[in-house]
Structure 1
């Protein structure tokens, strides 16, 4: 982490940790639709699902009067599916998520991702409406015109403290459209090709991104992301350091009664 910030000292980053390095970079709503249909959803399908989710929340759960993005943020932090991708401004918190106790992934490599932060999204009149702004973009040409789904218009939103977990996790969200362009492939990947097609990109990521290399002197302009792989046998030591030395543990990451309930559901043996 110090290496990346020393190479790009003037660049801000947001971070994400995943306990299984094989996982794609998928938002919870994108993954739900992909698991249901067996194929990556289009932008239109994602918009349709979001409209249904908003309608259900406002009419059946009586959550009317809350702007769409703020409602999505509250949903995200209690486990409801949204297109928002969780990230944090604190790399140690992201590292904790990467090495957190997970019986299904304890023996697998983890992954830490670093995204360039860019200009933060502000909840102005364009972004704080009851209907998501991107729902007005009805075709690929309209999306491309405003860089929604191209990677050049990636938004990083640091939401207000709408839920206790947001400040506890120093949370932010990546917001962008479903990828509509091909991206560079790393040398030797994909049967020698130099590009991944857009439909291939959508299988491993719900937002545009370009894998960057630390050796690059200049950052690519198109949604760069750096990744670090954490070996399975390093997870316990890193987790112990984060919890004992830096104070990042389940109780501080999920600092609410729902978090206590989740903890007891996962590890009921602590009460016996």
Structure 2
């Protein structure tokens, strides 16, 4: 059989398998979820991704009202490729233009309380980085960056062009992961559950780990590590909606009841138009998935996952990303800093709603000198230790692999 025929046969079989996932029973589950959703939220339509799924199956659905999108050149998707700007020194410089500095546990609680009071209608999920210079990237996106040889300004040659992964590359990688999992006899799990389990075991996935507790995220940021103890940390607060948006729309029943139960994830869309219609990669809808407690860490960390497509950058939305001098960041600067659509906003500045409906991202820099004191208070006052955050054999093994516990025993 020739390579061309072999590829054609494989493609037909692949599509047949994907089509078989939506059985009559699954379609009935979708219909029930839509009815439940409609009764719960009245006139508001369900997740637009579900509407795309139904349309592909020939089932009518009420579409969610879309944000204002320009119809001219400004709305065309821009290729994420080019050179870094002269002002960009890495993700740290990108986020520092909108950060609040934390130098103690007291300042941490004060600033978080002030941000929450200033934005009473917003709900948040949180994420902590031990190094303030790390980008807000999923593990799969980082893997693809490495495969493409993406380098940050400190590592790159002057004027070197960078070509970042797009959504097509992410989906191809995920399709390969599902095929590999079948070889390991794991084809009985939904794609989303498989990716979640891989994520918890250190495997690559597009899922971005978040927590609904700011203190858990802070613990991750100040966690002891010889590689990062002397570096500033970063705490992210990601709003789940845009200002004035419906705070319930980020975690809908259909996401848990139907869209998470398929072998092939709901974001395996057939075209860019379907992705845009589903608000996948547009930044207009931030999907937060709270998984079942199939791993003890999920409950102990109050864990959730952020689900989002690779940003479909347009000239219209690129105008919103500016540095401390109010100059626009280049598209490569943004992609090197985060793989999701999020609008960095200073926690102390008033928010304004944008036509693009991008949800805001707040960031706090935790000074390296404050890490040990904050960690000690989290342990003594809130009972947060390695044993409570990682309550499993893997966590114990990691603890015993370090030198701190043995040093305490021998002294």
Same-fold status (TM-score > 0.5):
yes
3-state SS in 2 of match to 1:204: coil
Match of 1:130 in 2: 263
Equivalent pair of 2:193/2:260 in contact (CA under 8 Å): no
Question: How far is 1:136 from its partner?
Answer: 2.0
Q: Is 1:145 aligned to 2:277, yes or no? A: yes
Q: Determine if the alignment matches structure 1 residue 171 to structure 2 residue 303.
A: yes
Asked if the contact 2:221/2:233 (under 8 Å) is kept, the reply is yes
CA deviations 1:232-266 (Å, max 9, x no partner) are 10001001111111111111111101111111123
Residue aligning to 2:194 = 71
- Where does the alignment leave 5 or more consecutive residues of structure 2 unmatched? 1-111, 151-163, 242-249
Give the structure 1 partner of residue 327 of structure 2: 193
CA distance in 2: counterparts of 1:177 and 1:102, whole angstroms: 31
Match of 1:261? 397
TM-score, normalization: structure 1? 0.92
What is aligned with 1:20?
131
Contact 1:96–1:239, Cα closer than 8 Å, also in 2: yes
Residue number among 224, 227, 242 corresponding to 1:101 in the alignment: 224
- Tell me by how many angstroms 1:269 deviates: 5.1
Match of 1:49 in 2: 173
Corresponding residue SS for 1:64: coil
1:168–1:255 CA contact under 8 A, matched in 2: yes
Cα drift, residue 197 of structure 1: 4.3
Partners of 1:36 and 1:269 in 2: CA distance: 37
CA gap 1:246/1:269 in 2 versus in 1, 3 angstroms: closer
* C-alpha contact (below 8 Å) 2:259/2:265 kept by paired residues: no
- Residue equivalent to 1:207: 340
SS of the aligned residue for 1:14 comes to strand
Give the corresponding residue for 1:80: 203
Q: Which whole-Å deviations, capped at 9, do the CAs of 1:50-77 have from their partners, x for residues lacking one? A: 1111211222x21121111111111111
Partners of 1:268 and 1:98 in 2: CA distance: 19
CA distance 1:199–1:187, change in 2 (3 Å): closer
What CA distance in whole angstroms lies between the structure 2 residues aligned with 1:101 and 1:30? Answer: 26
| Gaps in structure 1 of 5+ consecutive residues | none
CA–CA separation in structure 2 for the residues paired with 1:107 and 1:125: 45
Distance in 1, Cα, partners of 2:275 & 2:228: 37
Per the alignment, do residues 251 and 203 of structure 1 end up closer, same or farther by CA in structure 2, a change over 3 Å counting?
same
- C-alpha distance in 2, partners of 1:58/1:160? 22
In structure 2, what is the equivalent of residue 120 of structure 1?
251
- Structure 1 SS opposite 2:132: coil
**Count, aligned residues:** 267
RMSD: 1.8
Take 1:69 and 1:267, find their aligned partners in 2: how far apart are those partners? 36
Tell me which of 373, 391, 405 is aligned to 1:237. 373
Shift of 1:80: 1.0
Residues 21-53 of structure 1: CA distance to partner in whole angstroms, max 9, x if unpaired?
011101111111111212331111111111111
Q: Which has the higher helix share?
A: 2
